[in-house]
Amino acid sequence: MGFSALFESGEKAKYRGHYRNLLLIACADGGIDDQEQALLDRIASRIGLTTDQVAEIKANPANFPTVAPTTREERYERFIQLMQMVAINGHADANELKLVRKYGIALGFTEESMDEKFELILKHLLDGKSRSEVLDKVL
State the CATH architecture for 9-138: Orthogonal Bundle (1.10)
Domain ranges of the chain: 9-138
Q: Report the predicted TM-score, pTM, of the whole model to 2 decimal places.
A: 0.86
Residue 47: name the closest of 18, 76, 89 by CA. Answer: 18
pLDDT in tens, 77-122: 999 999 999 888 887 888 998 999 999 998 989 988 888 888 899 8
Element (H, E) at 57: helix 51-59
φ/ψ (deg, to 5) at 130: -75, 165
